[in-house]
Amino acid sequence: MLKQSLQQKLLQKLSPQQIQLMKLLQLPTTELEVRIKEEMEANPALEEGQEQEEWDEELTDSNEEEGSEAMDDFDFDEYLDDETPDYRLSAQNHGADIEDKTVPFSGGATFFERLRDQLGLLDVASEVRDLAEHIIGNLDESGYLRRDLESIVNDLAFTEGAIVEREALEESLEVIQLLDPAGVGARNLKECLLLQLRRKFEGESGSKLARRISQRLGIEILEHHFEAFSKKHYARIQKKLDIDEESLRDALDEITQLNPKPGNSGADSSRGSAVQIVPDFLLFIEDNELRLQLNQRNAPELRISPMYKEMMETYASGAKANSQQKDALAFVKQKVDSAKWFVDAVQQRQRTLTITMQAIVDRQHAYFISGDETDLRPMILKDIADEVKMDISTVSRVANSKYVQTPYGTFLLKSFFSESLTTETGEEVSSREVKKILEEAIEAEDKRKPLSDEKLSKELNDKGYNIARRTVAKYREQLGIPVARLRKELG
C-alpha cells in the first residue's frame, strides 16, 4: 500500500568549496603546482600576482573612460566561440626574468630496449629470436622471469594461435640468459646468482688460483647447499663440504658481490620513474630558536583577473539586456566565482598547513633543536588535532603527504608521530626512541652470535624500557632488520 508522508531529516553534507579544500589539503607541493596550473588553464579569470585594491580604486576618470571604450570594442561572441584562447597557447606562465629551476631528467633506452638491442646482435634463428622477444616482455623490473614456461606456451596458443613446444622456449630463455647484465632471465634467486657466478668463473680464467677456487666453491654452495646458505647454516655447509672457515668466508665474499636484482643495475631502471621530494616546510635554527617557513612554491600569489572584474561590473550595470549579453554575464560571473573559491581554498590550505606544522614543532621542540631521535616525545594525531581545534582527518591529510626540511634532513611529517611507552620510572617515551635504542643494540651485537628477540627484550628492560619480546619483534620488522639467524656473519 502506497502512502505519502512528510519527513524532516538533518543531514551533514559538504559543500563543493569544502570538498575542494580537502582535496587541495592532501596535495604535496609538486602536485599543488600542477593543480594550480590546471586551474589557470581551465579558468582565465584566475591569474598569478598580488591582489589589487578592490575594484582598482586608483584609476583616474580618464582611465575609466578608456576602459569602458575598450569594453565596448570587446567582442564576446569571438571570445566565446574561440576554442583555443591565447592563454592555452602560452608555453610559460611567468616572465622571462623568473629563473627556471626545473631539473631535466636524461632520457635513454629502457632496460627492456637494451635487451632487445643485444638480442638483435646475436646470430640466432628468427624463430628463437621471436620467442626470446616474447619472453623479454614477460620479465619483471628486476630481470626475473616469474611466470612458468607452460603458462607462456598457453598464452602463445590462445592469443596468437602459435603452437610452441616447451623445449623451444627453454632454448630462447638460454639465449636471454647470455645477455647483459648477467643473471637476467633467471626464474629464481638461486638461478640468478648461479648465472652470474658461472659467468665470472668462465670469464676470469686469468684470475688468481685462490679466487677461482673461491668462485668454484661458491658455485658448489649455491648449486647443492642453497637452502643452508639462505638460512646461514654455515656450520652445516662447512661439515658437508669439509672446508675450513676461511675458505667458506672467501666463497661467501664472492657470492655477496653478486647482484640479486640485475634488472635494476642499469642507469635507467626499466619502468621506474624518478621521484623528486620538494619540502612543504622549511625549518631553521636561528640563535637557538626555531623558525618555521612555508615553502614559497607552496604559497603562490593568486588573484582574480582585473579584466574579468571590469567585465562583470560593466555588463552587470546595465548596458544591453539581450540574451547574448546575459549569457556573457553568466559566463564571466561563473568564472570569477570559481576563481574566488579556488583562491580562498588555497589560502585556507596555507593557514591549515602552517597552524598544524607549528603545533608539531612546538610539541617536538627538543627534537628539532638537537636532531636526536631519543628527544622525540610521544605524539598521536589526536594530540595535534586537539591543539589546533581541527578534526583528526584534517591533521591526517596534512601529515601523510607533507615534508619538512630541517637542519638534520628532510622528513615526512607522519614520521614524527609515534605511540607512547612507559618506563620503569613511569615516564612516557616515544616508540621512536625505543626503536633507536633497539637499532643501536643490534648494531653493537656480536655478529657471530646475534641477539635473539628474547635477549634484546631483556637488554631493553635492563635499560628501563618495559617492552615484551613480541613488541621487539614488531619494531625489528618495522625497521627492516632480519631475525638473529639471518644476521649471523662469519668473523
Amino acid letter, 300: P
The pLDDT value given to residue 66 = 42
Q: How far is CA 125 from CA 6, 119, 145, 172, 344, in A?
A: 81, 11, 22, 10, 66
Q: For residues 116 and 123, what is the distance between their CA atoms, to the nearest angstrom?
A: 13
The pLDDT value given to residue 58 = 41
The pLDDT value given to residue 98 = 42
Cell of 434: 625505543
Q: For residues 17 and 342, what is the distance between their CA atoms, to the nearest angstrom?
A: 8
Amino acid letter, 83: E
In whole angstroms, what separates CA 40 from the centre of its chain? Answer: 26
Show Cβ contacts of residue 295 under 8 Å, excluding neighbours closer than 6 positions. Answer: 29, 278, 279, 280, 281, 282
Cell of 182: 648477467
The pLDDT value given to residue 50 = 66
* pTM of the predicted model over 0.75: no
pLDDT digits (tens, 9 = 90+) for 21-36: 777 887 888 788 888 8
The pLDDT value given to residue 60 = 38
Cα dihedral 467, 470, 471, 477 sign: positive
Segments in the chain below pLDDT 70: 1, 9-18, 50-108, 204-207, 265-276, 298-299, 315-322, 422-428, 491
Sketch the domain layout of the chain as residue ranges: 112-179, 188-269, 281-295+349-487
Cis peptide before 279 (omega within 30 of 0): no
Q: Which backbone phi and psi does 299 adopt, to 5 degrees?
A: -135, 65
Choose among 29, 6, 8: nearest CA to 346. 29
In whole angstroms, what separates CA 331 from the centre of its chain? Answer: 39
Decide if 306 contacts 327 (C-beta within 8 A): no
Q: Which backbone phi and psi does 10 adopt, to 5 degrees?
A: -110, 110
DSSP state for residue 481 in the 8-state scheme: P
Residue given cell 651485537 in the structure block = 445
In DSSP terms, which residues pair with 411 in a beta bridge?
A: 404
Choose among 147, 115, 142: nearest CA to 129. 115
Indicate the fold that domain 112-179 takes in CATH.
Arc Repressor Mutant, subunit A (1.10.10)
